[in-house]
Amino acid sequence: MYTLVGRSLESFLRSSYGDAFWQDLVQGALPERASRPLLVHTSPQETRRLVFLASRRLGKPVAEIAEDLGAWVVRLEGVRRLLRFSGPNFVEFIRSLEELPGRALLVLPHFPLPELSVVSEGVEDYEIYVSHRPRGWIWAIAGMLRGMADDYGTLALIAVAGNRITLRVVLEEHAAGRPFALSAE
């Protein structure tokens, strides 16, 4: 699991900040591994060291980096397509979030997502509870929600508080969403 997280972190930081930033980060956090071009196996401790050093070097809180990573992941076409199968609009997507960890296991059997619980507080307001494992996932999930709201063309306010994400759909058809068809074109 952490190898996939580490590889995702590497791809995100390389594409967002460049190869030189990544190499400098690995040299600072994992000097014993700096000669390798890609991190093949990453332990939880190594991943944390990379994230904390990236936070310091970028001047961003760890939570913001995790949220940006989540938003970046949903821009990957394969991930985006899998997520868009969850609903024809953003509200239906939110309502089906509880099924996401089980669906993800079909594709990535060794990558268990935290359990999600969605509570509707009316037509526009939702609370999404995220299980406590592993730490930091809630911010990545908030970023994924932000990215998917953009993908659907929905204006949503998303905030993290403790182990829950509060989400308010302000305007479901705020902008044109990205095109999506069931079959790849």
- Return the H-helix or E-strand segment holding 120: strand 116-120
CB 170 within 8 A of CB 133: no
Q: Who contacts 13 (Cβ-Cβ below 8 Å, separation ≥6)?
A: 21, 22, 25, 54
Q: Which CATH class is domain 88-171?
A: alpha beta
The pLDDT of residue 34: 66
pLDDT of the residue at 152: 94
Instruction: Give the pLDDT score at 37.
Output: 56
What tokens were used for 158?
A: 């998303």
Residues of the chain with pLDDT under 70: 1-3, 34-40, 132-133, 171, 174-185
Alpha helices in the chain (DSSP H): 2-17, 19-29, 44-58, 62-73, 77-84, 90-95, 100-107, 137-152
Q: Would you state the pLDDT for residue 175?
A: 62
**Residue ranges per structural domain of the chain:** 2-60, 88-171
Hey, what's the torsion of the CAs at 148, 152, 157, 162, to 10 degrees? -30
